[in-house]
Structure 1
Amino acid sequence: MTKVEIFDPALCCPTGVCGPSVDPELTRVASSVFFIEKKGLDIKRYNLGTEPGMFVKNKTVNQLLHEKGTEALPLVMVNGEVAKIGEYPTNAEFK
């Protein structure tokens, strides 16, 4: 089974609806992740602000953060390999 991990920058919430204005990109990603989870597929999101240990624990993510700083985020890994740096998957890529 494919395992997808999304390492988000520090966010107040992953849905994009918690700030003074709605972030449509975060809303799109949150919806996509929700539907993928409902299908029983293995997808996880980690927030730098609330789960920094996951960023330290993953050696690849840790190294990219040291090299590129937070510009590396969001970072998407598929089966332990880097798939995207600095942007979320498109809807087509989520499919």
Structure 2
Amino acid sequence: MTKVEIFDPALCCPTGVCGPSVDPELTRMATAVFILEKKGYDISRFNLASEPAKFAENNKVNQILHEKGPNSLPMTLVNGEVVQSSTYPSNQQLADWFGISVEELERKKSGNSINLI
């Protein structure tokens, strides 16, 4: 089974909806990770601000951070190997790693509507 770990830079929240403006890339990642977790896939995100021990415990992440600094974040590991640094994986990459279609990572809009009259 594929295991994906994403090491985020120091963020106030993983969704991108905090702060003065919404970061669509963080919102996309939060949605994709939520969907994958809900489907039972092994994916985790770690925030440098709230989980620094995870960064220190992982020798590969720790080494890259010491060599390249915080601009190397976000960093993505697949099955323990660093596969990407400085950018988040695309939905297509996530789909490929988990063997699913990219459409499965798109949040479906509900067809239900509520009329308040």
TM-score range, shorter chain: over 0.9
In structure 1, what is the equivalent of residue 79 of structure 2?
79
* Cα shift at 1:94: 1.3
Unaligned 5+ runs, structure 2: 96-117
In structure 1, what is the equivalent of residue 114 of structure 2?
none
Counterparts of residues 1-95 of structure 1 (less than 5 Å): 1-95=1-95
TM-score by length of 1: 0.98
Q: Distance in 1 between matches of 2:26 and 2:75?
A: 14
TM-score by length of 2: 0.80
- Aligned CA RMSD, in angstroms, stands at 0.5
Unaligned 5+ runs, structure 1: none
* Cα shift at 1:43: 0.3
Higher relative contact order (CA 8 A, sep 6+): 1
* Cα shift at 1:71: 1.1
Decide which structure has greater strand share. 1
Moved over 6 A (4+): none
Which structure has the larger Rg? 2
